Amino acid sequence: MNQILSLSRIANQLNDDACTSQAILNILLNCSNINIGMELSEFKEYTREMSPKMKGLAISDSSLSHEGDEETYHFISYVPAYSKLWELDGLKSGPLEVGDVTATTEWIDVIQLALRTKMRKYGSGGDGGGHDIWFSLLPIVDDAYEKANNEWEYWKSE
């Protein structure tokens, strides 16, 4: 997975209908080794010293977050950084630590418990609370073909 540069690039969600854009921007603006293009690079530089609230306002005011109607959806991002798994929720004031990512654990393994807990809390889950919230998981992961090709090239050079 691409290395996270800094969790200081998190923006608060101030626009009710920018949930998807907010979640993806919180990931893209914190990753290294991703060509995010000129427009996002300029936006990243422009918002470099802003607080999360001001970054959220800048996103709301920009053309980066204009989407269709998403009033019934909420998106949360999870990213591995600094040996931890972090939850990036634009409705929260900052990143939330989810758990440890060690040399022997993959971040995807760490997230499973957090997702189960969240789904049990907000889903119907037999709790009698009458909740009926659906969940969709949309992972952004390394390209398996590229990863295998890199390993192949490494072993060919040995």
Residue 31 identity: C
Q: Tell me the average pLDDT of the chain.
A: 74
Cα gap 147→152, rounded to integer Å:
9
Active site residue 31: no
Active site residue 19: yes
What is the residue extent of each domain of the chain?
3-124+132-157
CB of 62 closer than 8 Å to CB of 43: yes
Strand-pair partners of 96: 87
Structure token pair of residue 71 = 């009033």
What local confidence, expressed as pLDDT, does residue 153 receive?
92
Classify domain 3-124+132-157 by CATH architecture.
3-Layer(aba) Sandwich (3.40)
Cα angle 28, 114, 144 (rounded to 5 degrees) comes to 50
- Ramachandran angles phi, psi of 88, nearest 5°: -110, 105
Read off the pLDDT of residues 85-144 as tens digits, 9 standing for 90 and up.
888 877 777 788 999 998 898 888 888 888 888 888 776 554 545 456 667 777 677 778
Catalytic residue among 19, 31, 66, 131: 19
Angle between helices 52-61 and 19-28 (to 10 degrees): 120
SS3 of residue 61 by DSSP: helix
Q: What is the mean pLDDT of residues 4-27?
A: 60
Confidence class for position 152, pLDDT limits 50, 70, 90? very high
